[in-house]
C-alpha cells in the first residue's frame, strides 16, 4: 500500500561507457522512460509525488562517487530539495557497498527515501527498508 507522501522525486540515471551513452536507443533513454513510468503509475494510485530532478552521468563508472551529476543530486538532498531517489537498478547508483551505505546513511538522516525498480527496494515502506538492510548485510 502506498502512503500519501507526495515525494519530491529525483531520478538518477547512469551508464558506464561512452558507447552506451551515445546510443540513441540505449539505456539512458530506457532508464528514464521506466522511471517516469513508475512515477506515473504510482500517481494514478494516489498522491505519490512530483519529479523535481533528473541526474544523468553518461559514460561514467559507479566504482566511486566522483560523478558530477551524482554530486549535484547529493547536494540537492542535503538542501532538502529531494526526499526520494529512484533508480532502475542499485548498480546505477553504486557498485561499491561502502559508498552506497555512506549515501544511504546521509539520505536516511535527512529523511530521503530510496527506490530501485529492478531490485524491488522501496524504502517508502517499512518492509522495503528492511529488505534493503538485509541485502546490504549479505553483501
Mean pLDDT of 102-119: 90
Count the helix, strand and coil residues of the chain and give each as a percent rounded to the nearest 5.
45, 20, 30
Per the CB < 8 A criterion, the answer to whether 89 and 16 are in contact is no
Poorest-confidence range of 30-39, 92-101, 109-118, 122-131?
A: 122-131
Is 111 a residue whose pLDDT tops 90? yes
Least confident among 5-19, 23-37, 57-71, 97-111 = 23-37
High-pLDDT (> 90) share of the chain, %: 47
Q: C-alpha dihedral over 95, 98, 103, 108, to 10 degrees?
A: 120
Position with higher pLDDT, 37 vs 25: 37
Alpha helical stretches, state H, 3-62: 18-22, 27-45
Instruction: Name which of 95-99, 111-115, 131-135 the model is least confident about.
Output: 131-135
What's the pLDDT band for 93 if we cut at 50, 70, 90?
confident
Amino acid at each position: 500500500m502506498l502512503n500519501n507522501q507526495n515525494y519530491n522525486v529525483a531520478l538518477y540515471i547512469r551508464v558506464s561507457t561512452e558507447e552506451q551513452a551515445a546510443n540513441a536507443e540505449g539505456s539512458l533513454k530506457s532508464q528514464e522512460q521506466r522511471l517516469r513510468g513508475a512515477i506515473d503509475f504510482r500517481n494514478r494510485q494516489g498522491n505519490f509525488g512530483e519529479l523535481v530532478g533528473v541526474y544523468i552521468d553518461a559514460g561514467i563508472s559507479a566504482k566511486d562517487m566522483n560523478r558530477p551529476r551524482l554530486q549535484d543530486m547529493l547536494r540537492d538532498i542535503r538542501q532538502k530539495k529531494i526526499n526520494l531517489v529512484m533508480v532502475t537498478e542499485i548498480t546505477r547508483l553504486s557498485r561499491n557497498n561502502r559508498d552506497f551505505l555512506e549515501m544511504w546513511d546521509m539520505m536516511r538522516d535527512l529523511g530521503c527515501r530510496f527506490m530501485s525498480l529492478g531490485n524491488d527496494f522501496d524504502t517508502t515502506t517499512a518492509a522495503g527498508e528492511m529488505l534493503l538492510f538485509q541485502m546490504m548485510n549479505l553483501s
